[in-house]
Amino acid sequence: MVRIAVFLSCLVFAVGCATTGSAPHDLFLAKDGVAQGRIIVGADAPPSTKYAAEELKRFLGEISGGTFEIAPDTVALKPGDIVLGCNAQFGKATKRKSLYASLGNESYVIENTGRNLLIAGGEPRGTLYGVYALLEEDYGCRWFTPAVSKIPKTPTLKAPSSTRSVTPTLEYREPFVADCFDGDWAARNRMNSSSARLEEKHGGKVTYFGFVHTFNMLLPPEQYFDQHPEYFSLVSGKRLKERTQLCCTNDDVIRIVTEAVQKNMREHPEATVFSVSQNDWYNYCECDKCTALAESEGTQLAPVLALVNHVAKSVAKEFPDKLIDTLAYQYTRKPPKTMRAEPNVIIRLCSIECCFAHSFETCDSMENVAFEQDVIEWGKICKRLWVWNYNTSFSNYFMPYPNLRVRNNNIAFYARNSVKGIFEQDVYTTLNGELSGLSGYLNAKMLWNPDYDEDTAINEFLDSVYGKAAPLIREYIDLIHNRVEAENIHMDIWIGPQNELLDHGVLELADHIWDAAEARVADQPDVLERVRAARLAVDFAIIERERTEGLKIYEIDQTARSLKVRPEFAARVKRFFEVAERNGVTNLRESQGDINLYKKELEAYTDSVSGPVRDAAKNVGKLEPGLSYRLYHGVWEALPDFSSLTPAAEGVATEVGMSFTQRRDALALDFSGYFFAPQEGVYLFHLRSNDGSKLHLDNEVLIDNDGLHKITVKSAITTLKKGYHPIRVSYFEAGGQEDLGLSVEGPGFTKTPITASMLYHAPK
């Protein structure tokens, strides 16, 4: 069998599309609903090429109404035949053999010879991608979601008149969103996502072993630390076992990690990329050798890159087609002055600190200005630069997040600066996040072709997925995007419903738009359900804003010491959960976001409340303003047992917060004393923290907000008699951003932070 001369074995060149002239006369694949030829495939073609033939047969048939036969390459060619892949008939048919001489594994050529149409590419995905290119670009097919596509109906199909050769700009393209994990969707949109369910018939994918944050996997502290603490981070003069990094310049560390990667490569031949990357926290090594290298290169990446380069050089001979991936992330983001990554090393640059409401090149935030410069500098010195990008609020998957308009600008900016691969992290732990389907489709179009028109992608998706409601949903999209642009509102990846984006009647107007959108498709049950699923984000934001406003969501009878949720709030909550459950929503945030737990939490609000009255404490003795506190140093992932710890400091605080301590990480606080209820009645407490916290009132847990998480507010209702009530607030902060606050509202006053006027302690 004739084979294309050279197919690059691993990755593709960013050379784009070349058109090489027109065919001598028209070539028809179908006329008046009748197929004009067959699909010719070699008997020994790879599974992806055989699947390409099945896909071509299916969709050409759907478009034209004709029946297309798949025939072996042993038959003689006749006019109108479509030759797929490099088979026995390929060499006889092509007039442009030079076009096929050096195709990468995702490149393809679509050639009109005037007699036949040839679609052939590098294996394993090139020929398959050529088929999808023909169907999409020449005949208008679109695959918006796994359930919604657009297949035009045209009984007469003319083959493309010109011949074109295409290589994707990006070698790695991943819209990391649960709605896009379907293998057929990913292949049809020409995504080689590591997370998609892409099989052999799809030509496989970019496959990671150890996707990210692998230091502990490669050299486990529980296995090595007790005997060799020198293998791990020296921080403030102490080697760390918990939340540690590696001492990357230690010779034994380099040897052990190299051996681990070699073992992984031998045991996982299917994998393309092997991660050697820092853990997902700080605590880089401060030993003399690591520090000297970092200072000389101007970046904490230098010790990491020294380790990674050694691994890459060591495995290159035995595994020339494998790649080593490491992060340029947070403290390692800056490029080095003189060090360079080995050719088989991927530098994966992360934009986690950035604002995603505006493009990197136009945003005036310090974070975006700095990141833009890092991309430019990395692009100058790195042969294989990939990017880890972000498209949602990871603490609130259903927060309206207007960043659709920046996708085209940012992906094009990456491509201009030598970025070869892009991972677009989105809502990945649940289906039907905030406009997730649209987000994934838009990313797919831009990742394949950074010049694809943004508005075209958005509008074609809306028109096909939401039908007559599409103009209204576009109105909503423009509403929130116009707001962040007009007011220069910055958005990081942790914003919540209290963000200023949703002020000034934006949510009220959005709610009216979605009412109108539902009404417009009320007679189309399938479309109506998709509209309702897309509305979840606005319902979530309204629910969260209203409930954090506290007692306003209730009809209150302070005399009877009872309250009942307003009917309209209860109805919205009921609708939210019914729609979410029907549409496969399982999580509301990246971690600790189980929708069932959220439902239980809201049931405490939507049920009528008429609890027992908590008696005030008796014989409290002499009290003074403020709460006693104890400060502890340490790293925890949940609130510790304070009785077993020795405090680093003690004192009196005038509020539940952190204003009295300069320490911001690796700490815990334990406040105790009394809360003074000025009147008998219903009270609502709000505990806000990052990381975990608990509120005890009258010696019972009233609010449990424990665990590692971003800023999260939890609330609880109780009925108190006038007087002093024992209160305790416990809190810990592991690292990164920190926050702590306690608010209350009750009879005669609205929501207010609890300060010294309500807090008391017994003096020692």
CA-nearest of 588, 551, 554, 549 to 570 is: 554
Position 764 scores a pLDDT of 84
Task: Please check whether the domain covering 613-761 is classified as CATH 2.60.120.1560.
Answer: yes
For the entire predicted model, the pTM comes to 0.87
Instruction: Write phi, then psi, for 324 (nearest 5 degrees).
Output: -105, 130
Distance between CA atoms of 731 and 242, rounded to whole angstroms?
19
Residue range(s) occupied by CATH 2.60.120.1560 in the chain: 613-761
**For 206-350, where are the alpha helices, taking DSSP H only?**
215-218, 221-224, 251-267, 288-297, 301-316
Distance between CA atoms of 441 and 447, rounded to whole angstroms?
10
Position 9 scores a pLDDT of 28
Q: Is 606 left (phi over 0), alpha (psi -120 to 50) or beta?
A: alpha
CA-nearest of 153, 193, 198 to 175 is: 193
Report mean pLDDT in 10-residue bins for the chain, 764 residues: 29 46 76 98 96 98 98 96 94 83 90 95 96 98 98 97 94 97 98 98 98 98 98 97 97 98 97 97 97 98 98 97 98 98 98 97 96 98 97 96 97 98 98 98 98 97 98 98 97 92 95 98 98 98 85 73 83 97 97 92 70 88 95 94 95 93 92 95 91 96 90 86 97 91 90 90 92
CA torsion through residues 259, 261, 266, 267, sign:
positive
Distance between CA atoms of 110 and 703, rounded to whole angstroms?
63
Q: Domain 6-168 belongs to what architecture?
A: 2-Layer Sandwich (3.30)
CA-nearest of 335, 245, 249 to 282 is: 245
Residue range(s) occupied by CATH 3.20.20 in the chain: 203-443
CB-side exposure of 633: number of CA atoms within 13 Å? 5
- Separation in Å, CA 621 to CA 448, 617, 625, 650, 763: 73, 10, 13, 22, 10
Distance between CA atoms of 407 and 410, rounded to whole angstroms?
5
Helices (H) and strands (E) in the chain, counts: 18, 38
CA-nearest of 207, 127, 200, 210 to 172 is: 207
Residue range(s) occupied by CATH 3.30.379.10 in the chain: 6-168
- Separation in Å, CA 446 to CA 171, 379, 409, 487, 624: 13, 19, 10, 27, 63
Position 24 scores a pLDDT of 55
Position 749 scores a pLDDT of 87
Cis, peptide link before residue 691, omega less than 30° from 0: yes
Amino acid (one-letter) located at 654:
T
Find out whether 442 and 407 touch, Cβ atoms under 8 Å.
Answer: yes
> Do the bridges between strand 759-761 and strand 667-677 make them parallel or antiparallel, or are there none, so unpaired?
antiparallel
Distance between CA atoms of 559 and 584, rounded to whole angstroms?
43
Position 399 scores a pLDDT of 95
| 3-state secondary structure labels for all residues of 423-489 | EEECCCCCCCCCCHHHHHHHHHHHHHCCCCCHHHHHHHHHHHHHHHHHHHHHHHHHHHHHHHHHCCC
> If you classify domain 203-443 with CATH, what class do you get?
alpha beta
Amino acid (one-letter) located at 699:
N
CA-nearest of 627, 596, 569 to 760 is: 627
Quick one: angle between helices 525-548 and 595-606, nearest 10?
60
Element (H, E) at 572: helix 567-582
